[in-house]
Structure 1
Amino acid sequence: MDDSAELESFRRQWREEVESRAKQNLPEKSLATPSRTVASQSRKFPPTRHEASAWKEEEEEEVAPAHAPMELVPALDGLSLAKQDDEDAFHLRAPLKEPKSALEHFERAVEKEAAGNLGDSLHHYRKAYRLDAAVDKEYRNKHFAGAWKRPPQTTSSDEPTKPAADEKPAIVPTPELIASFSHLPIPPAEPLFEGDPTPPCPIANVPSEVIVEILKCVALTDPAAFGRMALVCKRFAYHFSHEQQIWKRLCQGAKFGFKAMHYSFACDIHGHAEHTLAPVARFTPFPTDMPVQIPSPLSSWSEVFHTFPRIRFTGIYISTVNYTRAGAASAYSNISWNSPIHIVTYYRYLRFYPDGTVIYLLTTVEPADVVPHINKSNVTAARAPSRKQHSRNTSDLGSSVTGPQDPVPPIALDALKRAQWGRWRLSKPASPSGPPEEPEYSIPGKDNSTAAHDPRDLVVETEGVGAPKYVYVLHLGLRSTTVRPTHGSQMVPNPSRNTKLVWKGYWSYDKLTDDWAEFGLKNDRAFVFRRVRGWGMI
């Protein structure tokens, strides 16, 4: 009875809150609409700082102090030999089994809510409670009973009480612990059956110089695989932490490093190179033809690779937008609390390329249906005028992440025809010996000379919708996400850096009239990086 009364009280409070919001708030538009402003400045920078630049994301990680050394603990804690969800989230979508019991409906509702699909989540919640009013208690007992149960603390009068110093062993600092692994051999694998001889381990007899070269080849092919090799044995963990030439080679590389970063636009919005006749040497913070030094706040090349602002090409950045708006009441009913509430969900996708181009997509299609097919060939085929002719031959529709022979589903093809081409650039790092960087946004009526230069700023220009005279300008900032543990609400830092793009501004520029229009970003949230298997691994 107590659970039923508590559930009924929650439902009553929810109805009152929905009714109050429906009376106070006006219906919002599903997408942001620009408000026109006129500025006499050039197209390079918008006229004012967007209000989104003052937002602070709830899960944004604070910047660590410059004197704090980076240790191997976050990097090793975030690695796992199990199959990662982020890597395989958009590989292949297996058909989901339709839930039947109340518990299955409740579990499906939790999954939909975590994915941001609140409409389907509410639908499954209602079905679960109709089948079993106490399904939430059954769900807690199944998934969280282990966290609640604590082993009983029994003390025996016969056993002597141990001193407190013996209960907790001495904690060795991580750098000293990793350094102690330098002379350890590579242990062989355990035999399959007890009593059998130990299987041979040829790599245990390989010299350290050869092992370092093998690890370098693995790191240049896939840095994530290089990180997982640190979990194989203590010897590999030592090389992962101390072989800084591998991390330096990664930083200077063009595949995953900073040689592929653009600090000025390298092409136009449609991907055509701007300097075709006389190519101009691009700026790179860590060139290979001259001596380079580690930036002063950082202490190692591994810290540079993880912390220095860098765009990732092995996946996609996704922004999930959810908001509610009041629906129209029925003409045959005068009851206000029975008015429908619409849950609106849409997604923004950004896929970056090393050549300076970007694909931007705004759609209601879920990530699992469209992300594996977002590439240049599919967007070109979907936007072609004679798209009906292309659909007769599936080989002309490009390829997905699963292979070149897989046809693109119609739902993904219809979404890709609204994709927009664009270009991107990062803010150039400030040089200690050079002149100070100019602020990117001039604020009328304020002292712009004190505007701090942020090397994490990212500027994206895309095509406008409806007319070629418009250009959309996205001002974003690179940040790092935080991870919420399974049990408890304390946020912990994510060892993966540069995995989040926060909004700082969004404008529309009219090239003919030199007018700027500002988009509102009331409901929009930050972009979060999701790795896609097969991207950047070829």
Structure 2
Amino acid sequence: MEEPIEAIALWELGYSKETAGAMTDAIKYYRKALRMNPDVEKLYRKKMHDEWRLNEEMKKLKLNSNVNIVDGSSETDPDGRKEETEGLSQTEDLVELPCWILDMLPDDILSMIIDMVVLSSADSWMNLSLTCKKFNLLCFHDSSPYRTFAEYIYKKQVYNENEMRLNGISDIQALAETVWGQNYRKMLKERPYIKFHGIYISVVNYLRHGSIPEGSSSLLNPIHMITYYRYFRFYPDGRCIRLLTTDEPNIVVPGFSLERCSERKDSDICSWSLSLDDGLDQLTIKRNRRKDGLEFNEILKISNRGHKKFSKLKWIASSATRQDGTTMQFSLSKEKPFHFSKAKSYRDC
């Protein structure tokens, strides 16, 4: 009995590694599990299905218990007493009562509360809108929260000063108003921005073919799965941390900050800015290497990741410029886009 349990545990560990992008480790655990039990995948699927069925049964049980409480069944009324609402239908019993406190407060006060919640986090803004119809109306059918969030997030963006000077732009907000006016909801949908309450991660996997050892009788070349990660964390002051490593996110993310950057020799402090061209969605990251005087430039494009707005960075170009002005272009054939991942321990600066 212990053997299937251990095999399933190894399979789950392999799945977690695959989810994190560590394909080499995932394959290793999958193979160990299969050697221990060839039917481990079926056992794993059965376990997941049983857990799903159990959750569904628990939901039904909880729902039935709530209905019994609302109906006032005979088990909870041993004396046979009837409440005044006995004649009401079940639908009427489940009607949501109004929140008298919210009805007592004017919309101006509630809007101030919403603005404070918006400044705390976008998730809190969404959760607040789900509490009642009143907050839903004020959260998403009023322009004030959108204006608050837009002013909060866009004032932290850093734009290329040379481009602003060449185009005669001294205030980026004035440029935004000429394009979007006071339509802050549309602005948040169309105007890209960098996020600061998390980290951008790129997981790169590729195969590398080895060579047959001398004297080996094997006819097959060994194949190695190479996995490495790229990390970016941005700050509103125009700095960002760049890291290229084989360490997984659960190791890197907790201590990935400017204060602890010196603890990692392979990390770099760079500068970032957004371009005024191409819809304000072009991101440039620059860093200098002192030992040889090279200036590295990495250009990426801010895009959407499914329904998640501006949570993806696509590679455009990567180059290095020598002190004599010559430029070297780097290949991006193996590189993958960055995906934004929120970190609870990170705070907006």
TM-score norm. by structure 2 comes to 0.78
2:318 aligned residue (501, 506, 522): 506
Preserved CA contact (<8 Å) 1:426 1:455: yes
Q: Give the match's secondary structure for 2:116.
A: helix
1:360 pairs with 2:242? yes
Distance in 2 (alpha carbons) for counterparts of 1:295 and 1:227:
23
Q: Which residue of 1 aligns with 2:14?
A: 109
More helix by share: 2
Residues 1:142 and 1:536: Cα distance change in structure 2 (over 3 Å): same
What does residue range 70-219 of structure 1 map to in structure 2 within 5 Å?
101-143=6-48, 202-219=101-118
Shift of residue 519 of structure 1? 0.8
Q: How does 1:476-487 map to 2 (within 5 A)?
A: 476-482=300-306
Using the alignment, how far apart are the partners of 2:24 and 2:126 within structure 1? 39
Question: Contact (CA 8 Å) 1:457, 1:476: kept in 2 or not?
Answer: yes
> Aligned partner of 1:461: which letter?
K
Distance of aligned partners of 1:509 and 1:537 in 2 relative to their CA distance in 1, 3 Å threshold: closer
Deviation at 1:498? Answer: 0.6
Give SS of 2:309's match: coil
Counterpart-to-counterpart distance in 1, 2:273 and 2:304: 19
Q: 1:285 matched to which residue of 2?
A: 173
* Maintained 8 Å contact 1:258/1:286: no
Partners of 1:364 and 1:463 in 2: CA distance? 23
Matched, 1:530 2:341: yes
- 2:102 and 2:265 mapped to 1: Cα distance? 51
- Tell me the distance in 2 between the aligned counterparts of 1:517 and 1:527: 23
Q: Is the 8 A contact 2:304 2:312 kept in 1?
A: yes
Residue matched to 2:270:
422
Contact 1:259 1:284 in 2 (8 A): no
**Contact 1:350–1:360, Cα closer than 8 Å, also in 2:** yes
1:232 aligns to what SS in structure 2? coil
How far did 1:243 drift? 1.7
| Distance 1:133-1:106 versus aligned 2 partners, 3 A rule | same
Greater RCO, 1 or 2 (C-alpha within 8 Å, sep 6+): 1
Residues 271-420 of structure 1 aligned to structure 2 (within 5 Å): 283-285=171-173, 292=177, 295=180, 300-337=183-220, 339-379=221-261, 382=262, 413=263, 416-420=264-268
Per the alignment, residue 232 of structure 1 pairs with 131
Give a deviation string over 1:315-353, Cα, whole Å, max 9, x none: 11111111111223233422122x432221111111111
Confirm or deny: 8 A CA contact 1:317 1:349 kept in the other structure. yes
Contact 1:265 1:423 in 2 (8 A): no
Deviations 1:285-320 (CA, angstroms, capped at 9, x unpaired) = 358xxx936628xx9422322431101111111111
SS of residue in 2 equivalent to 1:292: helix
Asked if structure 1 preserves the Cα contact closer than 8 Å seen for 2:180 and 2:186, the reply is: no
> Where does structure 1 lack aligned partners over 5 or more consecutive residues?
1-98, 149-189, 267-279, 383-412, 430-452, 483-493
Deviation of 1:249 (Å): 2.5
> 1:282 and 1:419, CA in 2 relative to 1: closer, same or farther beyond 3 A?
farther
**Pair 147,372 (structure 1): closer, same or farther in 2 beyond 3 Å:** closer
**For residues 472-509 of structure 1, what are the alpha-carbon distances to aligned partners after superposition, in whole Å with 9 as ceiling and x for unaligned?**
10010001112xxxxxxxxxxx2x20100000000011
Amino acid at match of 2:120: T
1:530 CA drift (Å): 0.7
Identity in percent: 27
Over 3 Å counting, the alpha-carbon distance change for 1:424 and 1:282 in structure 2 is farther
> Cα gap change, 1:363/1:201 in structure 2, threshold over 3 Å: closer, same or farther?
farther
Q: What is the CA distance between 1:533 and its match in structure 2? A: 1.1
SS of the equivalent of 2:155 reads helix
1:473 to 293, 297, 300: 297
Question: Alpha-carbon deviations, 1:51-77, whole Å to 9, x = none?
Answer: xxxxxxxxxxxxxxxxxxxxxxxxxxx
Amino acid corresponding to residue 469 of structure 1 in structure 2: G
Q: Is the Cα contact below 8 Å between 2:254 and 2:345 reproduced in 1?
A: no
Counterpart contact for 1:294–1:301, Cα < 8 Å: no
Contact preservation (8 Å) 1:502, 1:527:
yes
Q: For 2:171, give the aligned amino acid.
A: F
Q: What is the CA-CA distance between 1:518 and the residue it aligns to?
A: 0.9
Q: CA RMSD in A?
A: 3.1
Q: For residues 356-409 of structure 1, what are the alpha-carbon distances to aligned partners after superposition, in whole Å with 9 as ceiling and x for unaligned?
A: 111111111111111221221212xx2xxxxxxxxxxxxxxxxxxxxxxxxxxx
Amino acid corresponding to residue 308 of structure 1 in structure 2: R
Q: Which amino acid aligns with 1:333?
A: S
Partner of 2:309: 497
1:199 deviation in Å? 12
SS at match of 1:497: strand
SS of residue in 2 equivalent to 1:344:
strand
C-alpha distance 250-467 of structure 1, shift in aligned 2 (>3 A) = same
Q: Deviations over 1:200-236 (max 9, x none)?
A: 8644532222111100111122222112211112221
Q: Which residue of 1 aligns with 2:93?
A: none
Q: Which runs of 4+ in 1 moved over 4 A?
A: 144-148, 193-196, 198-201
The letter of the residue matching 1:223 is A
For 1:230-269, list aligned pairs within 5 A. 230-253=129-152, 257-265=153-161
